[in-house]
Structure 1
Amino acid sequence: MSDQAIDVGRVVEAVRSALPGGRPAALHEPSFGGHEWQYVKECLDSGWVSYAGEYVNRFESMLQDVTGVKHALAMSSGTVALHMALVVCDLKPGDEVLIPALTFVATANAVAHAGCIPHFVDSDIGTLGISPGRLEEYLAKIAEVEGGMCVNRQTGRRIGAIVPMHTFGHPVDMHALMRVAAKYGLVVIEDAAESLGSLYENQDLGNFGRVAVLSFNGNKIVTTGGGGALLTNDDELAKRAKHLSTTAKLPHKWEFRHDEIGYNYRMPSLNAALGCAQLEQLPSFLERKRMLAKRYQHAFADVSGVDFFVEPSFARSNYWLNAIMVRRELAHDFSARDAILQALNDAGFMARPAWTLINRLPMFEDCPTMDLPVAEEIERRLVNIPSSAGLVEPE
């Protein structure tokens, strides 16, 4: 069916009507309305701008309070946090790691940095994340457990872990996924880069796997400019991650001794100072983003051919990026999606599609991949629309 099946003008007007003032808007901009200037200036005035400063510890403590996770380690990016998670969970070079094909490339890059092989799996239309049911059916065909280790019968390699990514802040069905992981002896590492503040059955994401990671890039719900964090409730894992991420340096007042190859992955104090001010405003950011989602849901209720994507029934999402979906019967190809993208961007409302499926990128096209009908459907149907917390004010 052609792109004329959808009135793209009505789509543009729905976005315009949902935004107070109807002004052009970027996809996701940071909001700096708290103590950002004060904390960064204090950091500069003190001279502690590297990771040894007071603000790093403060930021980590605040993250622990916000997420309910026992240990939070501030890192220089979400990608390095995921790499570190794979390393401390004893993933070895040559191991396969199950990740969604529909994700940001950093998920796959971190797997490759660890010397592992991304193994792409399909998504669920109701969460946009990994489908536990389809995954279980797939593993029953290609995998077996030998001595507590999951082995891919087709490649002979160990499948060591699964990385659910909570897409645009919407939680994966974690209880169902954890059952599949337990059945096949897989370590669960949550890629919660986009989902700070989101809840699965009233529990903060980051508490379900052995370890989880967050991102604080400039476009995230809370930003440190660039940065990430590793979360875990495992004392020994946290201790090892902190040691490795600080160049594996042994504590001493003046000597530089290192006991293994480490990484310089810790977050600088300047970034942490910004993050502390941002975390203080997280409740307001979450309130405003959910308000914006409700406005979009109302605005799109009568627009034919598209639907606003709403959180799963078991979740309370941060709605990091709002999304509309072209109706399935109108999305046999990319024409309807692309017509909407063109119209919105021409009108000054920044919009983007979902990521190109990672298995189609040249560096990953030879990696193992299950059939991906749902991920391919989402790619054809989904459009992200302006989602900044600053677009609305709390009531």
Structure 2
Amino acid sequence: MMDEVNKLSNVLDTLQAVLPTEHFLPLHEPLFRGNENKYVKECIDTGWVSSVGKFVDRFEEDLAAYTGVKRAVAVANGTSALHICLILAGVKPEDEVLVPALTFIATANAVVYCQAVPHFVDSCYETLGLDPDKLRDYLREIAEIKNGACYNRKTGRRISAVVPMHTFGHPVDMDKVNALAEEYHLVVVEDCAESIGSFYKGKHTGNFGLVSAMSFNGNKTITTGGGGAVLTNDDDMGKLAKHLTTQAKIPHKWEFRHDMVGYNYRMPNINAALGCAQLEELPEFLAKKRALAEKYRKVFEGNESVDFFIEPDFAKSNYWFNALLLKPELAHMRDRLLALLNDSNIMSRPIWNLMYTLEMYKDCPRMECSTAEDVGRRLVNIPSSVVLGE
């Protein structure tokens, strides 16, 4: 036991050698050094603080230009973005949607908002995201194609979509996901909540599904305070996303006309103003976050207690959250490491509880998830703020 405690102390010593620990270090704090004050003040001075204003339009245009998609629609948060994406993907009540067991709860919750059923699948060590190879083997066992649609033989329900989530900004192998989706007639909805500034084979995440969802929560690489976006390369999908997220209101000078059940998912202008300023700073943010990740990689190289998680070969990650994986033989010491780091002014936390371990999702269909379970026992997130890369 003493040898194991010493190994954990070594992790702390290594972090303290590269981090300023005279005050408590959060996992990820926002950085406002650009035009944030100027743009927000303009909103206040002009009175355009709500869901209409020039910064909403500009943020959507700038975001689309940066990511390379045809259309971006700014919304209230990443969860609402994902909800709209699933509606656009044609997910119907009682459908099953394939989502990682190892993900933030919003991925599963958005499926339930559509009155559909999350079907949990395993992750892989290479990306921490959905494992397309293992999923293909699983679908060969439980799925059948009828009338051009995929069905679960065991439940009789249609499996309509698959939602790869780019964990901590590390892109999933989207070529394999798309090949799998084509084989099994599934719609791909990318959960890009954590991956602004991440690229798969040279192309920004969010370009590989029919629709994609982003988040700009306060702890994301760039923030609008609270906010998200729907991305798509389909112009009609983009128009429909804008319509649905603005209460499905038909433009008119004075009348309130609505032609669908819509949602009040609009991003306020004052939040979009923050987003415009943050997007201007994004290249610098990414450079500093990657510099921090490289610093971590070097100091933990050859460490006998933990491995620092690095991006897959086919991707360039934003390293939103940096992660350590305890050696398998030290997995039982994870909570002791978390206590040690947090007590030493270094915020750390475990990865999310697997979705099927939560009460409301315990009876949902799932495949064997041994990799997700192993990662869940061993992963610890460590401080990842932009300023730490300076």
TM-score range for the pair, normalised by the shorter chain length: over 0.9
Tell which deviates more after alignment, 20-29 or 261-270.
Answer: 20-29
Pairing partner for 2:386 from 379, 389, 394: 389
2:226 counterpart residue number: 226
Superposed displacement of residue 6, structure 1: 5.8
Residue 268 of structure 2 aligns to which amino acid in structure 1?
A: P
Aligned-residue offset at 1:261: 1.2
- Following superposition, the deviation at residue 330 of structure 1 comes to 3.1
Change over 3 Å in CA distance of 1:259–1:3 after alignment to 2:
farther
Kept after mapping to 1: 8 A contact 2:29/2:385: yes
Q: How many residues align?
A: 390
1:340 to 334, 337, 341: 337
The aligned residue for residue 369 of structure 2 is 372
For residues 189-200 of structure 1, the aligned pairs below 5 Å read: 189-200=189-200
SS of the aligned residue for 2:230 comes to: strand
1:15 aligns with 2:15: yes
Distance 1:318 1:311 in 2: 9
* TM-fit CA distance, 1:23: 5.3
Q: Do residues 301 (structure 1) and 301 (structure 2) align?
A: yes
Matched, 1:291 2:286: no
Checking the alignment, whether the CA contact within 8 Å between 1:101 and 1:358 is kept in structure 2 is yes
Deviation track 1:176-235 (CA, whole Å, cap 9, x = no partner) reads: 111111100000000000000001111100000001010000000000000000000011
Q: How far does the alpha carbon of each residue in 1:105-141 deviate from its partner, in whole angstroms, 9 at most, with x for none?
A: 0111111111110000000011000000000000000
Contact 2:306–2:327 under 8 Å retained in 1: yes
Whole-angstrom CA distance in 2 between matches of 1:116 and 1:259: 24
User: In the TM superposition, what whole-angstrom CA distance separates every residue of 1:75-125 from its partner, at most 9, and x where no partner exists?
Assistant: 000000000011111110110000000000011111111111000000001
CA deviation vs aligned residue, 1:307-355 (integer Å, no higher than 9, x gap): 1001001110000000000112333xxx221121111101010000000
Q: CA contact under 8 A between 1:5 and 1:330: conserved in structure 2? A: no
Q: Kindly, what percent of the aligned residue pairs are identical?
A: 57
Paired position in structure 1 for 2:358: 361
**Is 2:177 the partner of 1:180?**
no
8 Å Cα contact 2:305/2:326 also seen in 1: yes
CA distance in 1, matches of 2:74, 2:257: 23
SS of the equivalent of 1:363 reads: helix
Q: RMSD of the alignment, in Å?
A: 1.3
Contact 1:98 1:163 in 2 (8 A): yes
User: Residue in 2 aligned with 1:146?
Assistant: 146
Residues 118-171 of structure 1: CA deviation (Å, up to 9, x unaligned) = 000000011000000000000000001111100000000000000000000000
Q: What secondary structure does 2:260 align onto?
A: coil
Alignment of 1:1-395 (within 5 A): 4=4, 7-19=7-19, 24-331=24-331, 335-393=332-390
Please state how far the C-alpha of 1:52 moved relative to its aligned partner: 1.1
Structure 1 distance, partners of 2:257, 2:367, is 46
What TM-score, normalized to structure 2?
0.98
Distance 1:236 1:230, change over 3 A: same
Conserved? CA contact 2:11–2:305, under 8 Å: no
TM-score (norm 1): 0.97
Residues 16, 22 of structure 1: 8 Å contact kept: no
Per the TM alignment, residue 260 of structure 1 is displaced from its structure 2 partner at its CA by 1.7
Q: Could you tell me whether the CA contact under 8 Å between 2:79 and 2:106 is conserved in 1?
A: yes
SS of alignment partner, residue 213 of structure 1: strand
Paired residue secondary structure (2:261) = coil
Question: What's the CA shift for 1:42?
Answer: 0.2
Task: Specify the SS of the correspondent of 1:281.
Answer: helix
Q: Against the structure 1 CA distance between its residues 222 and 3, is the aligned structure 2 distance closer, same or farther, given a 3 Å change threshold?
A: farther
C-alpha displacement at 1:32, in angstroms?
Answer: 0.6
What CA distance in whole angstroms lies between the structure 2 residues aligned with 1:181 and 1:330? 37
1:324, 1:383 within 8 Å by CA — same for their partners in 2?
yes
Paired with 1:6 and 1:182, the residues of 2 have a C-alpha distance of: 50
- Is residue 309–residue 324 contact of structure 2 (8 Å, CA) maintained in 1? yes
- Per the TM alignment, residue 24 of structure 1 is displaced from its structure 2 partner at its CA by 3.7
**Contact 1:5-1:305 at 8 Å conserved across structures:** no
What is the CA–CA distance in structure 2 between the aligned matches of 1:108 and 1:2, rounded to whole Å?
A: 41
Supply the AA of the counterpart residue of 1:144: E
Q: Please give the alpha-carbon distance, in whole angstroms, between the structure 2 residues aligned to 1:346 and 1:202.
A: 40
**Structure 1 residue 74: Cα displacement:** 0.1
> Is the Cα–Cα contact under 8 Å of residues 75 and 266 in structure 1 kept in the other structure?
yes
**Distance in 1 (alpha carbons) for counterparts of 2:5 and 2:138:** 36
Contact 1:99 1:121 in 2 (8 A): yes
Counterpart of 2:342, as a letter, is N
1:392 is displaced (CA, Å) by 2.5
Cα separation, partners in 2 of 1:377 and 1:34, compared to 1, 3 Å: same
- Quick one: distance in 1 between partners of 2:247 and 2:2? 56
**Most deviating of 6-15 and 67-76:** 6-15
Cα deviation code 1:6-49 (max 9, x no counterpart): 61111011112222577541110000111111100001111111
Structure 1's unaligned 5+ residue stretches are none
Q: Which runs of 5+ in 2 are unaligned?
A: none
| Structure 1 position 2, deviation (Å) | 9.0
Q: Tell me the amino acid that sits aligned with residue 8 of structure 2.
A: V
